[in-house]
Structure 1
Amino acid sequence: MFKKNNLKKISLVIIACLAVITGYYWNCATVLRIYDYKTGRIYLEVPVKAGDKLFFGWVHSLEKIPWNEYYHISKDNSLVLETISFPAFGAGIPENKGKSCRIENGLIYMEEIEQVFPEFSWINSHFATRDIRLNGKLISRGSMLPEHTRLRLVIERRF
């Protein structure tokens, strides 16, 4: 049988372990990261949560028109493409993406797309990559990231 003194020591050890585990859990944040695809170097890391809105704006390489993508972050940390918008149709631009389409202020919006991406990658261009925004706040631009570098954007837990 354990003595009362030993029971107190065991209880203190268990409480201390629970405190460490709880502290560790609270410090593990979900973050949006932009990596160098080849080297794994992190260029950007910002905290995110499910439901946050991500905007990715770029210039279409062939048509030279602005292209806007609107995502939300799902509970499983994937990126869900909700809407795309652009000013005109052209090569490589879909004519029927999503469940609805509207025109507003000179832009065509294709909505309710609900396409899921575990992550996405692109070759960065200071010219082509415009704004990357989280909940309306600018977090990066193409000019802030390395030129002609394959990048990877992913939502993941930081440990």
Structure 2
Amino acid sequence: MKKMMIVSLALALFIFVFLYYFPQQTYLTFSSQRSDEVFLQKPVEIGDEVEVSWIHSLEHTPWIETFRIDEEDQLILSETRFKSYGAGTPEDTDGTLTVEDGFMIISDLHEPFEAYNWFHSYDVDYTITINDRTTIESTALPNQTPMKMKVTREVPLLSSFFRKKG
């Protein structure tokens, strides 16, 4: 009994040390709001900028929101751009409002989001861009699906073993 306890403690210590020192990767993870099934992951780093754009369903004009990834793995809304006030337009904000090239721009925002939720539809042409380099096209995610975008950290070697399947 004593030997088994020592072996169990040693194994627990090994696992703790392994997980503590094994490098983690930060991802922008796209999953179902309902089941948490992961559809897509893209590597990101603290400070990266994520731009979400779509065509507004009522006004039929572009809407662009810009986020920054912070040290606490949150998405920080820093700017929103739109062509006309209407459904969903922020009405009370601490940001700075300017008009540029026909867009109303609210900048200097610092609104934290643990997750960004939306209903994904090919009809409104969602596009997500990371640092103006990586573009996730609308069709890369399932159509007519309540989606969640969140910053996650995982040990790449172990993540496939512990990921919840849909």
**% identical aligned pairs:** 26
Matches within 5 A, 1:1-159: 21=18, 25-26=22-23, 28-159=24-155
**Structure 2 unaligned runs (5+)?**
1-13, 156-166
Name segments (4+ residues, structure 1) moved above 6 Å.
none
Q: Please give the secondary structure, in 2, of the residue aligned with 1:127.
A: helix
Q: Please give the secondary structure, in 1, of the residue aligned with 2:123.
A: coil
**Structure 1 unaligned runs (5+)?**
1-16
Q: Which has the larger radius of gyration?
A: 1
- Partner amino acid, structure 1, of 2:123: F
- Asked whether the 8 Å contact 2:30–2:147 carries over to 1, the reply is yes
Q: How many residue pairs align between the two structures? A: 142
> In the aligned structure 2, how far is the partner of 1:118 from the partner of 1:82?
14
Q: Report the TM-score when normalising by structure 2.
A: 0.76
Q: Please give the secondary structure, in 1, of the residue aligned with 2:63.
A: strand
- Partner amino acid, structure 2, of 1:136: D
Report the CA distance between 1:152 and its aligned residue.
Answer: 1.0
In the superposition, relative to structure 1, how do residues 61 and 93 fare at CA in structure 2: closer, same or farther (>3 Å)? same
Q: Please give the secondary structure, in 2, of the residue aligned with 1:89.
A: coil
Q: Indicate the RMSD between aligned Cα atoms, in angstroms.
A: 2.3
